[in-house]
Amino acid sequence: MKLSICVTSDIHGYITPSNYRNGEEENMGLAKVASLVNKIRKNNETVLIDNGDFIQGSPFTYYFAKKATDQKNPMIKVANQLKYDLAVIGNHEFNYGMDFLQTAVSESDFPWLSANVVNKKDQEPFLGKPYVIKQIADMRIAVLGMTTHYIPNWEDPNHIKDLYFEDVCESTKKWVPLIHELEKPDLMVVSYHGGVERDPNTGEPTEELTGENQAYQICQEVEGIDLLITGHQHRFLTGEINGVQFVQAGNNGQAIAEIKIEYDKKIKSITPTLHYVDNETEADLHIIELIKEDEKQVQDFLDQTITTVEGDMEITDPMAVRLNGHPFIHYINQLQMKVAEVDISCTALFHDNSPGFPKQVTMRDIVSNYIYPNTLKVLKVSGHDIKAALEKAASYFQAEGGEIVVSPSFLTPKPQPYNYDMWQGIYYEIVVSNPIGERVITIDYQGKSMDMDQTYHVVMNNYRASGGGDYSMFKGKEVVKDIPLDMTEVIANDLLSREKLKAENEKHFRISLN
């Protein structure tokens, strides 16, 4: 017998094959994924699994969680139409609160799993389902659901106040032998909303070993797993660790993982592959029709005016923004400091097509500027760390022909404008013609020269806080506060509370050639 286990992961609320910034078609979304699933179903018996982060992450999900709260969840409508066999709880499933999550679960025609997320009161899995058994012909398949236990480091405590998150590896060690004993499965699958923390071939760590991702550890320490489904990291992976096949299917419906199983009284082979959606992949018209009205509501919402700008916040010259600052960057830093309740912040102008804010700001303008699904963290860092971060940012520039230009190292192999940060709450001066590492000549805090040995609380996005962009000075630093809301939601919530947004641009830094 041939069986295909199909996996989506980290869909993040994307159904139609278009982005919400400009409506342009992209190779993404569940409607295109559905066509791939339909093709696989024609040839094989199929089990369809979602591996978490399904109901949050796009303007589409934001609208139905925050605005159209009386309507049925369209993500679940689509999942039911696609006939998912099961889903796993991801960390972002908690972002809109427990009531929203419980409603989504109750509307689903399939079970949601998470064995290691338990009620504090009775220590039982909070959704009641740690695993499922699927019987296909004479083959018995067990699927155990696991969720990264790092969630308390990110999530609003009110959303998870009655829950305890067991260490995933320890919980898997407990459940896998129990399932083998009770259920005698022919195939043991662990569907884990978490990622691979080491190089699968060398075992070398590829990140700080915090416990957020434990796939490598699970394969090394837990006996009896045939297939490990991973996610959370938005990577496209297939491979083997310690004899265990593993997959990761990316994000936003850009691909689907298919694991082909050959079975004849016992497992003959397990072969994982990734199928990417592309220009030839047509969107499933049944899915498009199913959410047509929902999508229209969202598009109308995206084009509604949220607030009005007083002054000029449009961006016409991104290089000038990075050299001199800009009211848009000023606003983002101010907002980050306000939400985090700290007085130092850093952020980037993420891309060169960022338009800034027009006179009438819409939700679409927000997602056109803030293009990444970032949350915020407050780190405890020293003056030395801040100096090192500023030096890293200063390396974005170089002197050429009497002008300041972007360093080639930030342009190839791909442009990295998102790795140049602008700071607020401090005043600093950069001289580009100085050697790299010696370009920051002034850092003042509250009118005085910054004490390099003192510690400060700084708010930044989660990518930077993890050391992303080679900002190694931030890696492993103490997280004082975590703000788990997507920044687009933070911005929208703030602008909705304002009748007018005043364009301001105080001078927080000076960048000169000499």
CATH number for the domain spanning 437: value is 3.90.780.10
Place of tokens 């689509």: 78
Closest of 450, 434, 433 to residue 442, by C-alpha: 450
SS3 call for 93:
helix
What's the pLDDT band for 294 if we cut at 50, 70, 90?
very high
Q: Can you name the residues that pair with 131 across neighbouring β-strands?
A: 144
Query: What whole-number distance in Å separates Cα of residue 18 and Cα of residue 277?
Result: 13
Check whether 206 has a pLDDT greater than 90: no
76 versus 21: which is more confidently predicted? 76
248 versus 158: which is more confidently predicted? 248
Count of structural domains, the chain: 2
* Residues 363 and 429 both lie in one domain: yes
Helix (H) or strand (E) holding 245, with range, is: strand 244-249
Report pLDDT digits (tens) over 340-388.
Answer: 999 999 999 998 989 999 999 998 999 889 877 688 999 999 999 999 9
* Residues 137 and 120 both lie in one domain: yes
Query: Dmax over Cα atoms in the chain, in whole Å?
Result: 76
pLDDT at residue 484, rounded to an integer = 77
Closest of 301, 282, 281 to residue 293, by C-alpha: 301
pLDDT at residue 373, rounded to an integer = 66
pLDDT at residue 67, rounded to an integer = 85
Range of the domain at 134: 2-299
**Is the Cα dihedral 190, 191, 193, 199 positive or negative?**
positive
What's the pLDDT band for 489 if we cut at 50, 70, 90?
confident
- The whole-number average pLDDT for the span 147-176 is 92
DSSP class per residue in 344-368: -EEEE---TT--EE-SEEEHHHHHH
Query: What whole-number distance in Å separates Cα of residue 220 and Cα of residue 420?
Result: 39
What's the pLDDT band for 469 if we cut at 50, 70, 90?
confident
Alpha helices in 184-311, H assignment, sequence order: 215-221, 285-290, 292-302
Report pLDDT digits (tens) over 73-113.
Answer: 999 999 999 999 999 999 989 988 999 999 999 999 999 99
SS3 call for 374:
coil
CATH number for the domain spanning 67: value is 3.60.21.10
Domain stops at, among 299, 319, 349:
299
294 versus 371: which is more confidently predicted? 294
- The whole-number average pLDDT for the span 201-225 is 93
Check whether 59 has a pLDDT greater than 90: no
- The whole-number average pLDDT for the span 24-47 is 96
* Residues 415 and 491 both lie in one domain: yes
Report pLDDT digits (tens) over 304-339.
Answer: 899 999 999 999 999 999 999 999 999 999 999 999
Q: Are 474 and 466 in contact (CB under 8 A)?
A: yes
Q: Are 253 and 284 in contact (CB under 8 A)?
A: no
* Residues 295 and 311 both lie in one domain: no
Q: How many residues does the chain have?
A: 514
- The whole-number average pLDDT for the span 251-268 is 96
Query: What whole-number distance in Å separates Cα of residue 48 and Cα of residue 7?
Result: 6
* Residues 457 and 386 both lie in one domain: yes
Average per-residue pLDDT for the chain: 95
* Residues 463 and 318 both lie in one domain: yes
Report pLDDT digits (tens) over 271-290.
Answer: 999 999 999 999 999 999 99
Tell me, letter by letter, the H, E, C secondary structure of 98-109: HHHHHHHHHHCC
pLDDT at residue 450, rounded to an integer = 98
* Residues 282 and 316 both lie in one domain: no
* Residues 335 and 277 both lie in one domain: no
Please name the residues in contact with 177: beta carbons below 8 A apart, sequence gap of 6 or more. Answer: 223, 224
**Angle, alpha carbons 47-52-53 (nearest 5°):** 140
* Residues 350 and 433 both lie in one domain: yes
Burial letters 372-390, b for 16+ CB under 10 A, else e: ebbbbbbbebbbebbbbbb
* Residues 292 and 335 both lie in one domain: no
